[in-house]
């Protein structure tokens, strides 16, 4: 028998429902006519409770997640999210707090935010922190808008260029362009660092700043970071730190101490707030005292002299603030989780996180480098970039290897990023993977290489045990079918596009 599961909309039968309401014990009242719906609800399925539960539980199990498998997705830091964070975020005083409730009723929540600002500042060596931005990319936009505001405030109107290394994450150039500035690309040298000659040639009185990730996007520490900072500052520019790779240097390097002026933290990467599927995330930002007046508000301030009648913790708006980046107080639930993480580990624990993350990444790199060529022959930081070019298997590509890993029960690593490495496979195990799990992963990668040489079709056909096989990823992203539409769906099926229904129709609705 096949595993056909009809889409939930087609299970509907009139009159079925899953709710039991008590008998009315007040006089019935009719709704005002302007609030009444005149048309029938289109295609709302009528189902029993068990049918609804099975539908949602089933589709939830199709989600690959860190709670079920190792997820070595480079640059994304898919570490395990401890469950104590969920408990903390569900404490009623946090979970039920209303964003419009007054400061006097929010002292505990404000204290948590104030302390988190302080911890993040301390860990990174910055003077001020704003918890506003919703994600790393929004933190970047915040930073570049702050750079622009800072230059303009000094009457420095010509600084309209942002330098971005060729290995950078796509959000960096996108951010600079979105802020209305011009993107200038900087080459990488043959050790994977910023090319100093290219940097010198492109710095000018038009430079607003440099956006740099350190460790960088090939998983390597920028060896000349202090010299890079000196040159940028000498040219009148500012240093933006993309903090997505902060997991490699906690308690070891303070970005503020090596020349960065501004940085975003991906609380959902380094500080274990859950992410994936686009949210929720938090891209808090830190900066020097010089840039602090431009930060987006509100920040949380503390008044030591407050009496019991005052609000010791209160919102404060920086004097030249670029404005608010996010409604209300940022993604508050994420802040509670990050606070809990920092308090659980303490300073030594955070340092151990980074030491272990770096050790794990190098363990995998060394165990695989005889089969998968390394992009740069150096000790890596928290992730390594290998190439999916297997000797003796010329028709196998990185994409095939990634898809085959799914059959072995692993989420694939990041592929084809950074763009400067051909057939890139970027592996980030994080500190939360045990040696045993990493050994399984290494064994899978070695077996896949053997399969590639012996019968490469196994790889070309992978994955074979998933509800859906290889999708047209560009089309899925650009023309997503997000709600069930029987006519559209039947048409796709006829055209052979919805091949997926043979395996499971429910997975495409
Ligand atoms: C994840 C990431 C970003 C963007 O962060 P989001 O929170 O996904 O917006 C930027 N740069 C690098 C290097 C990243 O890995």
Q: Is residue 489 scored above 80 in pLDDT?
A: no
pLDDT band at residue 12, thresholds of 50, 70 and 90? confident
Question: What is the C-alpha separation between 336 and 89, in angstroms, rounded?
Answer: 6
Q: How confident is the model at residue 6, as a pLDDT?
A: 60
With contact defined as beta carbons under 8 Å apart, do 45 and 8 qualify? yes
Q: Is residue 505 scored above 60 in pLDDT?
A: no
Other CB atoms within a 10 A radius of the CB of residue 279 amount to 13
Q: Which atom of ligand 1 is nearest to the CA of 137?
A: 9
Q: Tokens 């993604």, residue?
A: 331
- Counting residues of the chain whose pLDDT is more than 70, the rounded percentage is 94
Question: 491 or 116: whose pLDDT is higher?
Answer: 116
Q: Convert the pLDDT of each residue in 347-372 to its tens digit.
A: 999 999 999 999 999 999 999 999 99
Q: How confident is the model at residue 507, as a pLDDT?
A: 40
213 CA → ligand 1 middle, Å = 10
Mean pLDDT along residues 33-46: 81
Q: How confident is the model at residue 5, as a pLDDT?
A: 59
The CA distances from residue 267 to 72, 130, 264, 285, 287, in Å, are 18, 12, 9, 10, 16
Q: Convert the pLDDT of each residue in 221-254 to its tens digit.
A: 999 999 999 999 999 999 999 999 999 999 999 9
Q: How confident is the model at residue 270, as a pLDDT?
A: 97
- Atom 15 in ligand 1: residue holding the nearest Cα: 75
Q: Is residue 278 scored above 60 in pLDDT?
A: no
For 475, residues 6+ apart whose C-beta sits below 8 A from its C-beta are: none
Kindly provide the residue ranges of all beta strands, DSSP E only, lying in 335-493, ordered along the sequence. 384-387, 414-415, 424-427
Question: What is the C-alpha separation between 124 and 37, in angstroms, rounded?
Answer: 55
- Conformational region of residue 434, where left means phi above 0, alpha means psi within -120 to 50, and beta covers everything else: beta
Question: What is the C-alpha separation between 371 and 365, in angstroms, rounded?
Answer: 10
Mean pLDDT along residues 396-414: 96
State which of 72, 133, 136 you would mutate to test the pocket of ligand 1, scoring each by most atoms of that ligand within 8 A of its C-beta.
136
Mean pLDDT along residues 56-69: 84
CA angle 97, 101, 105 (to 5 degrees): 80
State which of 244, 249, 282 you would mutate to test the pocket of ligand 1, scoring each by most atoms of that ligand within 8 A of its C-beta.
244
What is the secondary structure of 460-505 as a DSSP string? Answer: HH---SSSS----HHHHHHS---S--HHHHHHHHHTTTTTTHHHHG
Q: How confident is the model at residue 387, as a pLDDT?
A: 97
- Atom 5 in ligand 1: residue holding the nearest Cα: 136
Q: How confident is the model at residue 494, as a pLDDT?
A: 76
Q: What are phi and psi of 78, to 5 degrees?
A: -85, 70
With contact defined as beta carbons under 8 Å apart, do 405 and 368 qualify? no
130 strand-pairing partners: 285
- Conformational region of residue 276, where left means phi above 0, alpha means psi within -120 to 50, and beta covers everything else: left
Q: How confident is the model at residue 506, as a pLDDT?
A: 38
Q: How confident is the model at residue 488, as a pLDDT?
A: 74
Does 217 contact ligand 1 (Cβ within 6 A)? yes
With contact defined as beta carbons under 8 Å apart, do 232 and 225 qualify? no
Question: What is the C-alpha separation between 188 and 475, in angstroms, rounded?
Answer: 32
Lowest mean pLDDT among 161-170, 177-186, 446-455, 485-494: 485-494
For 299, residues 6+ apart whose C-beta sits below 8 A from its C-beta are: 117, 128, 129, 130, 131, 315, 316, 317, 318
For 399, residues 6+ apart whose C-beta sits below 8 A from its C-beta are: 388, 415, 416
Reduced to 3 states (helix: H, G, I; strand: E, B; else coil), residue 45 is: coil
295 CA → ligand 1 middle, Å = 20
With contact defined as beta carbons under 8 Å apart, do 59 and 507 qualify? yes
pLDDT band at residue 509, thresholds of 50, 70 and 90? very low
Does 78 contact ligand 1 (Cβ within 6 A)? no
Looking at residue 212, the DSSP 8-state letter turns out to be: E
Question: What is the C-alpha separation between 226 and 196, in angstroms, rounded?
Answer: 12
Q: Which atom of ligand 1 is nearest to the CA of 217?
A: 13
Q: Convert the pLDDT of each residue in 425-464 to its tens digit.
A: 999 999 999 999 999 999 999 999 999 999 999 999 999 9
Does 135 contact ligand 1 (Cβ within 6 A)? yes
With contact defined as beta carbons under 8 Å apart, do 294 and 318 qualify? yes
Question: What is the C-alpha separation between 314 and 425, in angstroms, rounded?
Answer: 47
Q: How confident is the model at residue 497, as a pLDDT?
A: 58
Q: How confident is the model at residue 242, as a pLDDT?
A: 97
State which of 132, 134, 169, 263 you would mutate to test the pocket of ligand 1, scoring each by most atoms of that ligand within 8 A of its C-beta.
169
Cα(first)–Cα(last) distance of the chain, in Å? 22
97 CA → ligand 1 middle, Å = 29
Looking at residue 31, the DSSP 8-state letter turns out to be: P
Alpha-carbon Rg for the chain in angstroms: 26
Question: What is the C-alpha separation between 447 and 437, in angstroms, rounded?
Answer: 15
- Counting residues of the chain whose pLDDT is more than 90, the rounded percentage is 75
Does 237 contact ligand 1 (Cβ within 6 A)? no
427 strand-pairing partners: 73, 384
Question: 483 or 350: whose pLDDT is higher?
Answer: 350
- Atom 6 in ligand 1: residue holding the nearest Cα: 136
- Atom 7 in ligand 1: residue holding the nearest Cα: 136
Mean pLDDT along residues 63-72: 89
Q: How confident is the model at residue 4, as a pLDDT?
A: 52
For 138, residues 6+ apart whose C-beta sits below 8 A from its C-beta are: 283, 325, 326
Q: What structural domains does the chain harbor?
A: 84-342 (3.40.640.10), 473-508 (no CATH)
Q: Convert the pLDDT of each residue in 40-57 to its tens digit.
A: 776 677 889 988 888 888
136 CA → ligand 1 middle, Å = 5
Q: Is residue 19 scored above 60 in pLDDT?
A: yes
With contact defined as beta carbons under 8 Å apart, do 390 and 451 qualify? no
Does 398 contact ligand 1 (Cβ within 6 A)? no
The rounded mean pLDDT for the chain is 91
State which of 242, 282, 285, 419 you would mutate to test the pocket of ligand 1, scoring each by most atoms of that ligand within 8 A of its C-beta.
242
């Amino acid at each position: 028998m096949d595993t056909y599961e009809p889409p939930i909309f087609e299970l509907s039968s009139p009159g079925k429902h899953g709710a039991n309401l008590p008998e009315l014990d007040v006089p019935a009242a009719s709704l005002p006519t302007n609030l009444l719906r005149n048309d029938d609800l289109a295609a709302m399925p009528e189902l029993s409770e068990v049918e609804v539960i099975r539908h949602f539980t089933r589709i939830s199990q199709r989600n690959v997640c860190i709670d079920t498998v190792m997820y070595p997705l480079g640059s994304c830091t898919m570490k395990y999210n401890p469950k104590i964070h969920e408990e903390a975020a569900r404490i009623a005083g946090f979970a039920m707090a209303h964003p419009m409730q007054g400061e006097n009723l929010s002292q505990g929540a404000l204290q948590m935010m104030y302390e988190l600002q302080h911890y993040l500042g301390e860990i990174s060596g910055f003077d001020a922190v704003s918890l506003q931005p919703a994600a790393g990319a929004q933190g970047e936009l915040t930073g570049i808008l702050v750079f622009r505001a800072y230059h303009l405030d000094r009457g420095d109107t010509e600084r309209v260029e942002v330098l971005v290394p060729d290995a950078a994450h796509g959000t960096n150039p996108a951010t600079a362009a979105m802020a209305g500035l011009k993107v200038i690309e900087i080459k990488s040298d043959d050790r994977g660092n910023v090319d100093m000659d290219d940097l010198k040639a492109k710095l000018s009185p038009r430079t607003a700043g440099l956006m740099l990730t350190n460790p960088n996007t090939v998983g390597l520490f920028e060896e000349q970071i202090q010299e890079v900072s000196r040159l940028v500052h000498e040219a009148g520019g500012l240093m933006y730190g993309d903090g997505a790779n902060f997991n490699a240097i906690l308690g070891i390097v303070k970005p503020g101490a090596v020349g960065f002026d501004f940085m975003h933290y991906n609380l959902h990467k380094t500080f274990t707030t859950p992410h994936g599927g686009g949210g929720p995330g938090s891209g808090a930002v830190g900066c020097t005292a010089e840039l602090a007046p431009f930060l987006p508000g509100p920040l949380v301030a503390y008044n030591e002299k407050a009496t019991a009648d005052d609000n010791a913790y209160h919102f404060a708006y920086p004097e030249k603030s670029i404005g608010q980046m996010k409604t209300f107080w940022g993604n508050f639930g994420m802040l509670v989780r990050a606070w809990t993480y920092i308090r659980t580990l303490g300073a030594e624990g955070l340092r151990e996180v980074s030491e272990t993350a770096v050790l794990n990444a190098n363990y995998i790199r060394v165990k695989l480098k005889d089969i998968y060529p390394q992009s740069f022959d150096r000790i890596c930081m928290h992730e390594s970039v290998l190439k999916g070019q297997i000797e003796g298997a010329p028709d196998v590509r990185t994409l095939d290897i990634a898809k085959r890993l799914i059959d072995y029960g692993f989420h694939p690593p990041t592929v084809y990023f950074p763009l400067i490495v051909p057939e890139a496979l970027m592996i980030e195990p994080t500190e939360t993977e045990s040696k045993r799990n990493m050994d399984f992963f290494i064994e899978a990668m070695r077996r896949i290489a053997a399969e590639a040489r012996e019968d490469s079709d196994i790889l070309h056909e992978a994955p074979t045990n998933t509800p859906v096989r290889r999708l047209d990823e560009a089309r899925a992203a650009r023309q997503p079918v997000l709600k069930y539409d029987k006519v559209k769906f039947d048409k796709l099926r006829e055209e052979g596009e919805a091949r997926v229904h043979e395996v499971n129709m429910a997975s495409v609705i």
